[in-house]
Amino acid sequence: MKRLSWFAAALVAMLFAASPTRAENYAIDIKGAHAFIEFRIKHLGYSWLYGRFNRFDGQFSYDEKDPAQSSVVVTIDTASIDSNHAERDKHLRGADFLDASKYPQARFTSTSFDALGNGRALLKGNLNLHGHTRPIEIAVEHIGNGLDPWGGYRRGFLGTTKLALKDFGIDYELGNQSREVELTLSIEGIRQ
């Protein structure tokens, strides 16, 4: 009997050790306001115009042992654009730019995650914005992870990318200096 229980314990240990690692799943912390999607674009080449999207949602999975298995999905409410100027925001929501009534959501779905070392990675995926889907690349930095004061477990990343407005069918003439928008995504997730 003793030999059988020792064999069963060894078998369970071997199966557990041989089982593939699993990515941890995280929900982006929207309720706690620990996530931001911000943008900036040059204004006439003289200064930067800054803004953000106030409503978005998403989740990601991350596997420390096999980062290539990681994935991200983020959905943005395009009508939530906020550049701190009501009239400008109305224009940005309109047909010249986001056309939020026709295209109420933008969606990013990752296709690959390539770890580069030292907490850095290159996240690739498809962004659907303004009725156009294009591949984009996001430079990612792993900020940190660990327990929170409420008994949960969190992980955070910072991502940056540039988008050419014309690639997404937005061709309102803003001048040569204002053809690309830079996005910064500061994402903190709660492990599920």
Query: What pLDDT shows up at residue 176?
Result: 83
* pLDDT surpasses 60 at 6: no
CA 168 to chain centre: 18
Alpha carbons 101 and 81: distance in angstroms, whole number: 13
Confirm if 182 and 160 have CB atoms less than 8 A apart: yes
Mean pLDDT of all residues in 106-135: 97
58: nearest Cα among 78, 23, 37, 28: 28
140: nearest Cα among 108, 117, 163: 117
Q: Residue 174's pLDDT band (boundaries 50, 70, 90)?
A: confident
CA 12 to chain centre: 38
* pLDDT surpasses 70 at 40: yes
For 15-38, write each residue's pLDDT tens digit.
Answer: 444 445 588 999 999 988 899 999
Alpha carbons 191 and 152: distance in angstroms, whole number: 7
| CB contact burial 88-98 (16+ within 10 A = b; e otherwise) | ebeebbeeebb
Q: Residue 1's pLDDT band (boundaries 50, 70, 90)?
A: low
* pLDDT surpasses 60 at 3: no
Mean pLDDT of all residues in 129-139: 98
Query: What pLDDT shows up at residue 95?
Result: 96
Report how far apart, in Å, the C-alpha atoms of 50 and of each of 21, 74, 136 are. Answer: 41, 21, 21
* pLDDT surpasses 90 at 4: no
Mean pLDDT across the chain: 91
Q: What does the block give as tokens for 176? A: 């040569």
pTM attached to this predicted model? 0.86
If one compares 7 and 142, the residue with the highest pLDDT of the two is 142
For 60-78, write each residue's pLDDT tens digit.
Answer: 999 999 999 999 999 999 9
| Domains recognised in the chain with CATH numbers | 21-191 (2.40.128.110)
Percentage, residues of the chain above pLDDT 70: 89
Report how far apart, in Å, the C-alpha atoms of 114 and of each of 69, 70, 192 are. Answer: 9, 9, 23
DSSP state of 171: -
Q: What does the block give as tokens for 149? A: 């004061």
